[in-house]
Amino acid sequence: MARKTLKQEFLDEMLQTASHLIKFPTKRFWVDYDEGADVLYLGFERPQNATDSRMLDNGILLRYREEALVGVTILDVSKR
């Protein structure tokens, strides 16, 4: 059996990811990845202007403005 090309593997991963992205609480969001810190930032509003945050036990930081979730920070994302 021929090994999938890198391009095909990437496309397969993107399709799997897309099915999750459409379930997000908002239809517009921004994604930034800091490779050096291995941190993924998801923003649901621009600018975020978060007024509060909550760190979960699993290394995920939820960022809020008043009661609205405006961003998520995922630590050590490549190890998940």
Mean pLDDT: which of 6-10, 15-19, 23-27, 38-42 is highest? Answer: 38-42
Reduced to 3 states, what is the DSSP secondary structure of residue 37? coil
pLDDT surpasses 80 at 57: yes
- Scanning the chain, the segments in alpha helix (DSSP H) are 6-21
Predicted TM-score (pTM) of this structure? 0.77
Mean pLDDT for 30-41 is 96
Rounded Cα distance, 72 and 62, in Å: 5
- Contact by Cβ (8 Å): 80, 58: no
Per-residue confidence band for 46, with pLDDT thresholds at 50, 70 and 90 = confident
Mean pLDDT for 7-17 is 90
